[in-house]
Structure 1
Amino acid sequence: MSVNQVSDDTLRPSVWGDSGLLGRVMSAGSRRHVPVLKQGFVFFFVLMAALVSTVIPWLPVTDAPTMWAGVSAALFGVAFAAAASWRPRLLAWEIVIPAADFVAVGLLRYGTGDSRSVFVPIILLPIVWIAVWAGRSNIVWLLVGSAVTFLLPFVIDPGGRAPSEFIRIVFSLAIYATVGLAVNELARQASRRVELSRAQQHAVEREIDKAATIQQSLLPPKTSLLPDMFAVRGTCIPARTVGGDFYDWYPTPDGIALTVGDVMGKGVGAGMIAAAVRSVIRSSSDDLDPAVALRRATTGLASGDSDVDIQFTTCFHARITPSGEVRWADGGHGLALIRRASGLVERLRSSDLPVGLGDHWVSHTDQLQPGDTIVCISDGVLDLFPDELLAFSAFQRLLISTGDSSEIVQRVTELVGDDEQADDVTVVVATFAPAPAPAPALARA
């Protein structure tokens, strides 16, 4: 089959048996013009050989009509290649192009001095063309073509041939066959390496897809499992198939828990660390102190091998009670805020180190009033704003101008748009909206 080194195209059915000389059916697009490019070089050299022989006196022209017939044969190859570029089905007969070249070089050889012609090396171009096709049986066809080139002058003029001419032809065919075998083997090895690389790439892609599916399965369940007094929404848009950001929420014995984390780095490795940290923090749901969850996560990531670098994770973890009390711990994240019902935005600040770097975290306490909203984002959200230095202020203004928790998540998602972002984008929003206390009954008269 023809390799043509251009495609992942569908294999063409062979008209010449198992040798597969007919190669591949090339898809539409720029790749189908490769035969025109290759044949263009052959025609250029044949034409230049004829022109140079005509202009330079010491280059013999023994038969000008035959020489220009060779140019016409090469031109026919160009025309066929051009037609095949627009009618890909013609590439099933791609063998016609190098066949025309063998005839062209044979005619050129006879017209420019026969055995004394200096232009015979042009035959190497169609030889290499056929040699790169898959299958060693193609060597037979390049030998047939080479024989046509050398024996064509015998057909035109049978007489006057010295015995040494036949020996020279046999020797030349042996050399060209060796060249063809070498090129064919190199092409075969290159093709195998490409196929192996593609197989490995597909295997990696399948594993990444599985990792992405697993990561999606670790996202928190529907908010219907949470108490009605909390309106919680969130999203995570990874920069790659598998991201290093994660978020979580779940009911606890004393209310709900919220977590947002950002693992250093991206890809599958960061995704594995994110899954581990999330799982350890969730396993601490029975402990009322959120700082305990961060300490346990660091212990879970610790390695006995001091030479192994552990990726650190910035993490915000909060517990909210039905009374609106917020207990939170921040491991180097620093991107959590409370938007009060009055419109005031307060940033929750902490100087503690990320998970994996520090060994001590402090829990803080705040109080939510009805209508207050706690918001936590990853640094990928700030990358969505044009001015890096003013990005956090711009996000605060977005919060002030936005309504409920669903609208906040929607606005952040709209900022991402269809463009590829540089970092994972994560936002989690929880609004404290307890049911109003029932009005006291009027005393009966």
Structure 2
Amino acid sequence: MSDRGRQGLLDRSSRTRRRHVLQRHQLLRVRGRSVTWLVPLLTLVVIAFVDYNTSGEFRIVSWCVFVAAIAAALCGVWTTALFAVLALLTYVAADSAWPVQYRAGPADFVLVLAGGVLSVLAAAVRVRGERRMLHMRHIAETTRRTVLRPLPPGWGGLDHAEEYLAADADARMGGDFYDIQPGPNGTRVLLGDVQGKGLGAVEAAAALLGTFREAGYHEPEIATVAGRLETRMRRHRGHTVALGRDDGDRFATAVLLGFPEGEAGAVEVVDFGHEPPLAVGPGGVRLLPLAEGLPLGLAELTDGGPPPVLRTALAPGETLLLVTDGVTEARDRAGAFYPLVEDVAAALARDPRTADPTRLVAFVRDRTLRHCGGRLADDTTIFAVRRQGSAPRGAGAV
């Protein structure tokens, strides 16, 4: 669903949202319209037909109780109530058509009546649960869009593509984070992974991204941005501990990139214990050299400050690929890790256009999911950036 579609869902009235909840779970559609009501209707018709065309010793009219139960599983409350009434009327009409000695009697009438009432109640409970689930998904989606804000095309002079896959599909948000922040001193890129899961990890990611967006814009030196991130992680951890939470050992791995203004062939890298970025381009695939530092929040374990800044040259057309451990630690059925570098290199040899950010992210996403059989053990983020205008001729996305 597009961003505009999601926003439309948030703005609709409660009545429209209720209709949408039901539509999400309708299994049969013809030309965009739900026809799930056909299932209980056909069931009712078949029961009445079979009961009418069999002998008096084989009566199945009491099976009308299943009609409302089927409607409760597929349809809305009012539709279920309608079928409960139809089932009861059908029972009375069909049973009355038989001689007295073959009639099912009042006991089955009470069964159909009670089954219809219980089915309506079950439908009400089911629809209420669906509404609540949709509401929670709206909250999760709003949280995701607040923390991981949408990035405009060409933001900060970078062609970029990103893919976030939460290990918990219902949560839609975990501890992975990323962003691009343009500013007067160049464009900065941040990708990281907060240790742990749950709302605590989301809060830490939001705190780090907030600091990055301010420091990445205002600070002239990327080393200062790195220092601000380290300080923010420690401050956030101290705050959660003061609240009595068990977040005292939380940390975050991250990679901070800087694209200096007016230097098209250079990138600055600060690594906080994260997977090193890959440079993917016409010359193949290579790991960026970096000085591995401690994760954010753990610099106090050493006498030094944040990790040093390393400046690296980029060849024309090279795309930087950054991933979280959801990619590098994806395992197949035999327990083997996904060979990211080798797989990307092989794809690049087959088709040089794989270096395009959009193609590259899509390739890594599909190959990771295929490697692990769709069973993600951790949140997975795939992020690719390249300076605009640096792509070699004929290597653009199609």
Tell me the TM-score range normalised by the shorter chain.
0.5 to 0.7
Q: Give the aligned partner of residue 380 of structure 2.
A: 424
Aligned-residue offset at 1:249: 2.0
Matched, 1:407 2:356: yes
Q: Give the aligned partner of residue 323 of structure 2.
A: 377
Aligned-residue offset at 1:316: 0.7
User: Helix, strand or coil: the match of 2:295?
Assistant: coil
Q: Give the aligned partner of residue 210 of structure 1.
A: 142
Q: Encode CA deviations 1:184-232: one digit per residue, 9 max, x unaligned.
A: 6xx676555434423322321232333344456x233442643xxxx54
Q: Give the aligned partner of residue 192 of structure 2.
A: 261
Q: How does 1:54-73 map to 2 (within 5 A)?
A: 69=56, 71=57
Aligned-residue offset at 1:257: 1.1
Q: Give the aligned partner of residue 95 of structure 1.
A: 88
- Distance across 2 between alignment mates of 1:212 and 1:196: 24
Q: How does 1:13-412 map to 2 (within 5 A)?
A: 27-29=37-39, 35=44, 69=56, 71=57, 74=59, 93-99=86-92, 100-101=94-95, 107-108=101-102, 123-134=106-117, 190=122, 192-215=124-147, 218-223=149-154, 225-226=156-157, 231-239=158-166, 240=169, 242-244=172-174, 245-264=176-195, 271-285=202-216, 286=219, 288=221, 289=223, 290-302=225-237, 303=240, 304-309=242-247, 312-321=251-260, 322-323=262-263, 324-339=265-280, 342-343=283-284, 345-356=286-297, 359=300, 361-371=306-316, 373-382=319-328, 388-389=336-337, 391-398=339-346, 401=349, 403=352, 407-412=356-361
- In structure 2, the CA distance between the partners of 1:398 and 1:252, relative to structure 1 (3 Å rule), is farther
User: Helix, strand or coil: the match of 1:133?
Assistant: helix
CA contact (8 A) 1:232 1:429 kept: yes
Q: Encode CA deviations 1:316-344: one digit per residue, 9 max, x unaligned.
A: 11223244554322223213134576446
Q: TM-score, normalised by structure 2?
A: 0.60
| Aligned residue type for 1:309 | D
Total equivalences in the alignment: 315
- Distance across 2 between alignment mates of 1:249 and 1:312: 21
Aligned-residue offset at 1:299: 3.1
Aligned-residue offset at 1:94: 2.2
| Aligned residue type for 2:226 | A
> Unpaired runs of 5+ in structure 1?
1-6, 10-24, 48-67, 110-119, 135-183, 435-445
- Distance across 1 between alignment mates of 2:246 and 2:162: 32
User: Helix, strand or coil: the match of 1:132?
Assistant: helix
| Aligned residue type for 1:375 | L
- Distance across 2 between alignment mates of 1:340 and 1:433: 14
| Aligned residue type for 1:246 | F
- Distance across 2 between alignment mates of 1:264 and 1:35: 55
| Aligned residue type for 2:246 | V
Q: Encode CA deviations 1:252-293: one digit per residue, 9 max, x unaligned.
A: 443221111234567877555433321212222215104314
User: Helix, strand or coil: the match of 2:257?
Assistant: strand
| Aligned residue type for 1:307 | R
Give % identity: 17
CA contact (8 A) 1:102 1:123 kept: no
Q: Encode CA deviations 1:395-424: one digit per residue, 9 max, x unaligned.
A: 451585364786243133145359867343
User: Helix, strand or coil: the match of 1:202?
Assistant: helix
- Distance across 2 between alignment mates of 1:252 and 1:355: 23
User: Helix, strand or coil: the match of 2:173?
Assistant: coil
User: Helix, strand or coil: the match of 1:298?
Assistant: helix
Structure ranking higher on relative contact order (CA contacts 8 Å, 6+ apart): 2
- In structure 2, the CA distance between the partners of 1:432 and 1:339, relative to structure 1 (3 Å rule), is farther
- Distance across 1 between alignment mates of 2:46 and 2:272: 61
Aligned-residue offset at 1:307: 2.9
Q: Encode CA deviations 1:14-73: one digit per residue, 9 max, x unaligned.
A: xxxxxxxxxxx96234x5566589889x98xxx9xxxxxxxxxxxxxxxxxxxx74x36x
Larger radius of gyration: 1
Aligned alpha-carbon RMSD (Å): 4.8
> Unpaired runs of 5+ in structure 2?
1-20, 24-34, 71-78, 391-398
CA contact (8 A) 1:236 1:247 kept: no
User: Helix, strand or coil: the match of 1:426?
Assistant: strand
